[in-house]
Structure 1
Amino acid sequence: MGFLIRWLESLDYDYKILSHCSRYKSPLSSCTECIAHCPTEAIQLQTGKPVIHAADCIDCGKCVVSCPVQAVEGFLPRRSIINKQYIMDSDNTPTLNELLVYYKKGITTIVCTEKYMSAAWEETLEQVNQLLIQLGEKPFTISNEQPPSPHHESMTRRELLFTWEKELKQFAKKMTPAKWRFNHENLDVAKHYPDYQFVHIYLDKSKCTLCKACQMLCPKSCLQINETNFTLVAQQCSNCLLCQDICPENAISLKKMISTATTEKQPIYTKECPCCEKTYQTINEIQQLCVACQKKQQFSSSIIEQSINCKKEESSWQI
């Protein structure tokens, strides 16, 4: 038993940020979800990247559940669940995403053991129930009755040994690193509600130049560009905002909203530029010039406009 305890203690594990974090993928990322949800300010930006300082970390797990791309590795917040019922803890309010995932796992009742529900819980339940209604589900059931503890019956020696072994394994699972005992992708709400999307992706066809930066960096493959179409698959989008942040033309914007999952396809047109006579592709049907010639034309127009303004200023000085 002493060897087992030493082995379990050797599995002590610090929270860490994984390489698929939006800020690790691009310095243009604006995501600060883990920082905003950390109650002890244990997560700080260093050269634009979030770093967890273990000395200040209290292992609350709020960074794990708040990350839109599941890029924080560590233990999830401890929740009390008995007989498929969530026991409310007035000091720890779960996120909406947690509750939506629990709901799909069959935990549809929340037990309030206090005389009065906290304001934070009331607000959270109101919000999550509104989301569930939009998702075609029934709201959470609220109960004031404490669920009964599992009934213990007399067991044979063999059954007792089996029970100890089972409990020991469960204990080990709780002690072992999160990357062994928990798949972070389980917190991806979109996978639990495949018929709905939680974000709408807006694409400005007049600005997009098909540079493919969004396609290369999107962690969920929501933006797909081939020879014939620019396809938007918003169902998997978790609103990490990376595509919006890195788009050089500001052609992409995201908005949180629940709607039926749809796939939007924008046709890609192949044209010949009348200026340089080279073939180019665009999703803007009325675009006449290739991107390079278009920018040259805009630059020339800007120079001419500046020259005209300078002459006007000179004339006003002379007057």
Structure 2
Amino acid sequence: MSLLVNWLESMHVDAQITKKCSRKKHLLSTCTACIDACQFGALAMTHTSIRIDTEKCNSCGECMIACPLSAIEGVVASREYEQDTLLYNESYIPKIKELLIYKQRGVNKIKADSIPLNRNWMEVINEANKILQMLEESPIQIREIRKDEGLSRRAFLSSLQAESRQLAKSLAPAAWKLEANEWKITRYYCDYQFYQVEINLHQCTLCQQCFSFCTQKVFTLEDHLIRVDNEKCVNCCDCMDICPEGALEIKQKITKKQHKNYPLMMHECTNCGKLFYTFQLKADNCPICHDRDPEWLSP
């Protein structure tokens, strides 16, 4: 049955970039994760748009896996699975994030015709297993395919293909497998954080633009403090890109989830008279008055 599923999933389905993409949300986005991952030049990006050239795209799925926001829909046709096993293929190198997600989705083994695997695969597997140990998870195992097992598999595939083609025509494209946020790492390890967001209190004016553009809701304004929930961060860098003061930094930090509270002070703006929160003891102007061009009329 797994071979039938693999064959059906290999049917071509055009990848689509959804509205969750940072590049579609604001012009200040610097994210290039999908472009960096694509080896075929199938993604075209301008200052105001991003699109996939379907003639160049082969549905390998590398862009989908790399996107921190899981904003690209489609089918990862280059991967093959058998129950709880990923089949080794030298045509690609898996991502560490990918293996961590597979582990939570029940893929515990990697099967190959011969061991050891190539160096690139081994480096990724070893690093993923180190992180899995930190996450208190069992490691991903490597298993060699027996010769008789390989022959049986090929024979079964040959006999199955003729029957499965007719069945495939009656099914919708392989998009049936799509799930929301499928490639978002925070979906699978809710008790851990992979990144830590730090606020430079000397530079931050509390304009709250990062609050508006962070789709993961990392920042929360509570009673006289800002709460930063690091376990929600996926390293999309939207907050860093949108911050006019360059007051935010994201660092990789894998640990048990931990939020951080930043205490706030309440001041009255000397310009407009409104109350505003600030980190600065001697702040006189609210963020609006602080950023306003002095040539413009005051409120």
TM-score of the superposed pair, with normalisation by structure 1:
0.75
Asked if structure 2 preserves the Cα contact closer than 8 Å seen for 1:212 and 1:225, the reply is: no
Which residue is 2:67 aligned to? 67
Query: Match of 2:103?
Result: 103
Tell me how far apart the structure 1 counterparts of residues 90 and 21 of structure 2 sit (CA, whole Å): 31
After TM superposition, the structure 1 = structure 2 runs for residues 1-319 of structure 1, keeping only pairs within 5 Å, are 13-146=13-146, 168=167, 176=173, 178=175, 180-226=176-222, 228-273=224-269, 275-276=270-271, 278-291=273-286, 295=290
* Pair 293,64 (structure 1): closer, same or farther in 2 beyond 3 Å: closer
Displacement after TM superposition at 1:213 (Å): 0.9
Larger Rg: 1
Indicate conservation of the 8 Å contact 1:231/1:264, yes or no.
yes
Q: Which amino acid is 1:207 matched to?
A: Q
Closer/same/farther in 2, CA of residues 13 and 107 from structure 1, 3 Å limit: closer
Contact 2:87 2:110 in 1 (8 A): yes
Q: Which amino acid aligns with 1:268?
A: L
Q: Which has the higher helix share?
A: 1
Task: Return closer, same or farther for 1:105/1:181 CA change in 2, 3 Å cut-off.
Answer: closer
State the shift of 1:125 in Å: 0.9
Q: Which amino acid aligns with 2:137?
A: E
Gaps of 5+ in 1: 1-7, 152-163, 300-319
Aligned pairs, number: 271
Amino acid at match of 1:218: C
Q: Which amino acid aligns with 2:60?
A: C
DSSP-derived class of the 2:181 partner: helix
Deviations 1:38-94 (A, max 9, x none): 111010112342211111111111111111111111112442222412221122222
CA spacing shift, 1:292–1:130, aligned 2, 3 Å: closer
In structure 2, do the counterparts of structure 1 residues 76 and 129 end up closer, same or farther at CA, with 3 Å as the change threshold? same
Structure 1, residues 21-44: CA drift from partner, whole Å, max 9, x if none?
101111111100110111110101
Contact 1:81–1:87, Cα closer than 8 Å, also in 2: yes
**For 1:102 and 1:236, how far apart are their aligned partners in 2?**
19
CA RMSD in angstroms, aligned pairs only: 3.0
CA–CA distance in structure 1, aligned partners of residues 144 and 287 of structure 2:
67
Q: Secondary structure at the match of 2:254?
A: strand
The 3 A distance-change label for structure 1 pair 59 and 194 is same
Q: Percent identity?
A: 26
TM-score of the superposed pair, with normalisation by structure 2: 0.80
